[in-house]
Amino acid sequence: MKRHLRMRTVLAGLAVGAAVSGLTFGTGGLANAESGAGSVVIRQFSCFVSLPPAPFLETSAKTQTVITPSGATALTCHFNGPRISDTLRAQGFTCGTFLGVTTDSRFVYTPSGQATLVCVATPMSSA
C-alpha cells in the first residue's frame, strides 16, 4: 500500500537548510551565474527535511544544487533513514533553495529507508 501526501503550503512541514560557510538562501556569497556562462553546481551542503509522518532526515553527503545562467535552480538531496512500512510521497510543499522559496517540490520515502527530495525554483518573469 502506498500513501500519497498532497500539501500546498506547509511552512513548518519542510525545511531545507544550507549550512555551508558563506552560503545563504539569498544570492549573497554565491557565485552568480551570468548569461553566456555555464551553470553553477554546489555539492555536499547540509540538507534536512521534516515532513511528518516521515522521520526527520538530514544529510550532507548526497546533496547537489544546480543554478543555471537563467537563474533557475534545482536542489536534490538523497537520504538514508530508518525503514518504514509504506512508501510516502509528498509534493507541492514549501521548500527553501539557495536562491529562494518554491512549491515546485517532491519528496519520496521508500520502505527501504531511501528518500529523495527535489525542489526547483525559477526566476519570476518581469511584467
Q: Where are the domains of the chain?
A: 3-20+37-121
Q: Calculate the alpha carbon distances from 29 to 33, 68, 87, 98 in Å.
A: 12, 16, 37, 10
Q: What is the tens place of the pLDDT at every residue in 16-61?
A: 333 322 222 333 334 444 445 789 999 999 999 999 999 999 999 9
- List, as one string, the DSSP characters of 77-105: EEEE----SS-EEEES--EEETTEEES-E
Amino acid letter, 92: G
pTM of the predicted model as reported, rounded to 2 decimal places: 0.71
- The pLDDT tens digits of the residues spanning 67-95 come to 999 889 999 999 999 999 999 999 999 99
State the chain's mean pLDDT as an integer: 76
Closest residue by Cα to residue 119 from 3, 35, 39, 18: 18
Q: What is the pLDDT of residue 93?
A: 94
Q: For residues 12 and 61, which has the higher predicted lDDT (pLDDT)? A: 61
